[in-house]
Chain A
Amino acid sequence: MDIDVKMTVNGKAVSGKVEARTLLVQFIREHLRLTGTHVGCDTTQCGCCVVHVDGVAMKSCTMLAVQAEGKAITTIEGLASADGTLHPMQQAFRDHHGLQCGFCTPGMVMMGVDIANRLPGADEKTVRHQLEGNICRCTGYQGIVEAIMDASAVMNAARS
């Protein structure tokens, strides 16, 4: 039995018919064809699927599409400005070599934005701890941690 869902994704109203068991990540990838959000595991451990739901980082493999009814979703495709200017977090990942193969990257960037929003000025230890739910196999996390700390400072300055 299909269920109607409506939500806002990257600022646009979207709707669709989904099975009750359809995960938010499936809705994003398969219905909306926004394939920047990745699936890297089946146990909610890897963080490749992190998106923002009403501004908060969420593993989209761990939420049903119907649970996102009426909510505002931001995916990696919605982070940069319309003119293509990268979000400070994306720019910082580039500047600090925070990505190699790029598969964990969208989840890492979305998680990084969330960390910077929640914990402005977080120190290295805090950032590392906050990344418990995101696995990277390429970078040794070094560039990722540096990028999040750097972008966090940029975002903080922009807010004040």
Chain B
Amino acid sequence: MGEFGIGQPVRRKEDVRLLTGGGQFTDDIDLEAQVYAAFVRSPHANAKILAIDTLAARSMEGVIAVYTGQDLVDAGMGVMVNEANYVNRSGKPMNKPSRRIMPVEQTRFVGECLAMVVADTPEQARDAAEAVEIDYDVLPAIASTARGLDKDAPHVWPEFGENLVVHWEYGDKDDVEAKLAACHTRVKVDLVNNRLIVSPMEPRCAAAEYDTASGALTVYTPSQGGRRLQMMLARGLLKMAPEKVRVISRDTGGGFGIRSKMYPETVMVAFAARTLARPVKWRGDRSETFVSDYHGRDQINVAEMGLDAHGRASVLKVETLLNVGAYLSENGVRLPMEGGGRIIPCMYDIPDFYFSVKPMFTNTICTDTYRGAGRPEANYIMERLMDAGAQALGLSREEIRRRNFITEAQMPYKTHLGFVLDSGDFDGTMQMALDAADWTGFETRRAESATRGNLRGIGLATFIEGAGSRPIEGMRMRFEANGEVTLFAGTYSHGQGHDTVYAQLVNEFLGVDFDKVTLIDGDTATSPETSNGTFGSRSSMVGGIGVKRAAEAIVAKGRKIAAHLLQTDAERVVFEGGVFRAQSSSITLAEVAAASHDAKKMPEGMALGLDESVVYENDVENFPNGAHICELEIDPETGILEILNYVAVDDCGVVLNPFIVHGQVYGGVMQGVGQALTENVVYDADGQLLSASYMDYGMPRAAHMPMIEALFNVVPAKTNELGVKGAGEAGACGAPPAILSAVGDALSRLGVSHIDMPLTPEKVWRAIQEARVVTAA
């Protein structure tokens, strides 16, 4: 409806507050008479804990309490949850260790919380934390994904006799191998999907207060929606009634998947506040978040694809190693199967498929969901294979994709793991990208770069996503007496602009002024009972349609009130553009809303107010997809790589606000650029994290990024009534393979056949030098 409705590039409601210092991040919240927590963290990747001596710390000035893992056991605290339940084909269940909030007998990664100090000031808490003495029996550790399943690798959990969590398989290995052997052409890739530090800019933080009289606990923490955290805290960890636990996130400085998780520090802060009956606050240092926030990715994939002489792929074998870290985080172990697995073999129709996943324990912090959560890895595998196939058969990279795409005529198309792709114009989307990037004119530009001694390459990646996971979510819409609208959501905006987009939807469906809509989220006291939060690019569907359904419920009730006021039957009342009409008479929704608060104007027996709660539920997710093209130049003398042009064409269905969706694309691409070019988590052989600060870890800066040209090929989803497909994670899927494809294009003429992410100048330079040596020999 006009300039504020669906599809309009509306400027964000959130911005003025955040641009003027008015944000309220957790560390900005001070509680009356709060005290401060600091944590004692393990310096060893694997060690028996022989003794923890807290005596000296307890006697220091300002120290209020010191807690160890044993104190939590004694207090009857629960353990961290993991709901995964995979089974080996032999029938043996997965190895599933219990994770205590803080361990008692053994520590299994550097940075693990082993004790907590509470003191009057942050400085006193830190000083006392340093005075906690722990005796360790240091044991050999394993951090490497490549070596984690070696026979001589130390066992993270000796009771299992192996580091393997489970060997999960899909398909018939023997049959697929026989079919591969019979193919005209086979291509194989051996890929490292590098481990990443997620690093939302707001360091992790928690504050909690407990009201002894009512037994109510309030926890402030950055999150991606509080309801799940509330339930975990109440039921599993603190063993309280859920209604006595309130989780509040006012502003959250980025999430990217890892902020949806429960962390030991949050539980400890809540525990201490309850135990001491005093408000307790902790703000993590960035160095603490490097070692204790969940990491992303960390897979090794060996994949093989069989094709016929025309480049038509028919057989695929993928064998994946996944490093889950020392414990099972909430979702980490699921990512190859339920993250990437729902889409693999991605955009391609490949009938025969064998998929093996071996998650393993190592002495590292757990991995878990990070932007894309399994789908970037799956797309990376398929795109590297397609490029390899093109090269093997002398086909162009776009042509081999074209020959293997699932077509619209094949949809709805059931993927191997049982998900159904409803819509997508993969060839058309790719063609848009090829046209926008002037793909066919590239050789002229390559020649121009060559005159300057530089190697220019162009790369293509097509990808598909699965978005809108766990599609059930509540929404409440309430009209105030003054005609303003308040939305209460369990989805939670931590950068995505929900305040703006939901207000656009209210404007679209009800004609209410954009400025008169307020979103309340990030508080379990007001969010709908049924709520999962914001992750997996789900809010456009589950939140957006929640708004739509709530608006419909408002209209349904409003129609009855309007009929009563207009003295007609509700069936005769039509709602359009914010006005109820019946023949020649009419009444605005704002007038109906005002009347709804006046018992004298309401139909008999009808509850006062316009205040409707709905639960949106869908059986299926949605499948955003796209084609990205990257053009870059490499200086062979230094290995320095510069992205010159980047085109992103995305099909994220109906675009609710292109201004905001473009922002999601740019941000996702940047995180993919980071993975491809600069980012890499490095643990040494003893499990010490070497890339533990922004000085040591290559977080992408502004100079790594080009201006991205973002375009849409809008193919509405057929499986939800807004036609939306999630937009948040696509960039992180498209960028790594597009960049690798471009580097492959630039270097393949030198004979460089393989290079792994991240493509640091050193790595690129070495690859070039080695190829030159081989060529010269």
A residues near B (Cβ < 8 Å) are 29, 33-43, 45-46, 48, 75-77, 79-80, 86, 90, 93-95, 97, 99-106, 109, 124-125, 127-129, 131-132, 134-145
Contact = CB atoms under 8 A, between A and B. Distances in A.
25 contacts: A35-B25, A35-B27, A38-B25, A38-B253, A40-B286, A42-B286, A43-B693, A45-B695, A77-B20, A80-B20, A95-B11, A101-B201, A101-B251, A105-B18, A109-B19, A125-B703, A127-B702, A137-B254, A137-B671, A138-B201, A139-B667, A140-B665, A140-B705, A141-B666, A142-B663
Nearest to B203: A40
B553 to A, nearest CB: 31
The interface size bin for chain B is 35 or more
Interface of B: 11-12, 14-25, 27-28, 30, 199-203, 251-256, 283, 285-287, 494-497, 659-660, 662-663, 665-671, 693-695, 699, 701-703, 705, 707-708, 731
A119 B694 CA distance: 27
Given A39-B203, A131-B701, A137-B667, A142 B495 contact: no
A34 B22 CA distance: 9
A53 to B, nearest CB: 17
- Indicate the member of B19, B660, B699 with the most A CB atoms within 10 Å: B19
A132 B660 contact: no
A152 to B, nearest CB: 15
Nearest to B657: A97
Nearest to A104: B201
A135 B699 CA distance: 8
Given A34-B21, A94-B12, A103 B254 contact: yes
Contacts of B283: 39
Given A43-B695, A135-B694, A90 B286 contact: no
B20 to A, nearest CB: 5
A131 B19 CA distance: 18
Contact of B495 (A90, A95, A138): A138
B21 A76 contact: yes
Nearest to B254: A101
B11 A94 contact: yes
A105 B27 CA distance: 16
A140 B14 contact: no
B199 A102 contact: no
Contacts of A102: 14-15, 17-19, 23, 251, 253, 495
A142 B705 contact: yes
Contact of A135 (B30, B201, B665): B201
Identify which of B22, B702, B703 gathers the most chain A CB atoms within 10 Å of its CB.
Answer: B702
Contacts of B667: 100, 137-140
Nearest to B15: A94
Nearest to A124: B707
A109 B22 CA distance: 14
Given A137-B201, A143-B663, A99 B694 contact: no
Contacts of B662: 97
A140 B669 contact: yes
A106 B21 contact: yes
Contacts of B731: 140
Contacts of B19: 76, 86, 90, 93-94, 99, 102, 105-106, 109
Contact of A97 (B202, B660, B699): B660
Contacts of B30: 33
Given A127-B702, A138-B667, A141-B666, 7 more contacts: A39-B27, A42-B287, A77-B21, A102-B17, A139-B670, A140-B665, A140-B668
Given A135-B701, A142-B705, A90 B20 contact: yes
B547 to A, nearest CB: 21
A35 B17 CA distance: 12
B127 to A, nearest CB: 12
Given A40-B203, A42-B287, A102-B251, A86 B705 contact: no
A100 B693 contact: no
Top 5 closest A-B pairs, CB basis? A36-B21, A103-B253, A102-B18, A140-B666, A101-B495
Contacts of A106: 19, 21
Contact of A141 (B27, B255, B495, B702): B702
B16 A94 contact: yes
Contacts of B202: 38, 40, 101, 103
A113 B695 CA distance: 25
Nearest to B666: A140
Contacts of B660: 97
A137 B21 contact: no
A141 B695 contact: no
Nearest to B694: A45
Contacts of A100: 254, 495-497, 663, 667
A19 to B, nearest CB: 8
B28 A137 contact: no
A142 B664 CA distance: 11
Contacts of A132: 701-703
A139 B25 contact: no
A28 to B, nearest CB: 10
Q: Which of A95, A105, A140, A141 has the most B CB atoms < 10 Å from its CB? A: A140
Interface centre among A90, A100, A101, A131 (most CB of B within 10 A): A101
A34 to B, nearest CB: 7
Given A43-B286, A99-B15, A102-B14, A137 B705 contact: no
Contacts of B20: 36, 76-77, 79-80, 86, 90
A101 B25 CA distance: 10
Contact of B494 (A45, A101, A105, A109): A101
A128 B670 CA distance: 14
A137 B257 CA distance: 13
B207 to A, nearest CB: 13
A108 to B, nearest CB: 10
B703 A128 contact: yes
A143 B661 CA distance: 13
Nearest to A132: B701
A59 to B, nearest CB: 12
A128 B695 contact: no
A145 B702 contact: yes
Contacts of B496: 100
B666 A142 contact: yes
B707 A142 contact: yes
Nearest to B251: A102
B42 to A, nearest CB: 19
A100 B255 CA distance: 11
A35 to B, nearest CB: 4
A134 to B, nearest CB: 8
Contact of A40 (B16, B201, B497): B201
A72 to B, nearest CB: 17
Nearest to A41: B286
Contacts of A99: 15, 18-19
Contacts of A101: 200-202, 251-255, 494-495
A90 B15 CA distance: 9
Contacts of B16: 86, 90, 94
B693 A45 contact: yes
A46 B201 contact: yes
A143 B666 contact: yes
Nearest to B284: A42
A56 B286 CA distance: 25
A109 B23 CA distance: 14
Contacts of A95: 11
Nearest to B21: A36
B201 A140 contact: no
B777 to A, nearest CB: 40
B25 A103 contact: yes
A2 to B, nearest CB: 13
A131 B23 contact: no
Contacts of B495: 100-102, 138
Nearest to B285: A42
Contacts of B670: 137, 139-141
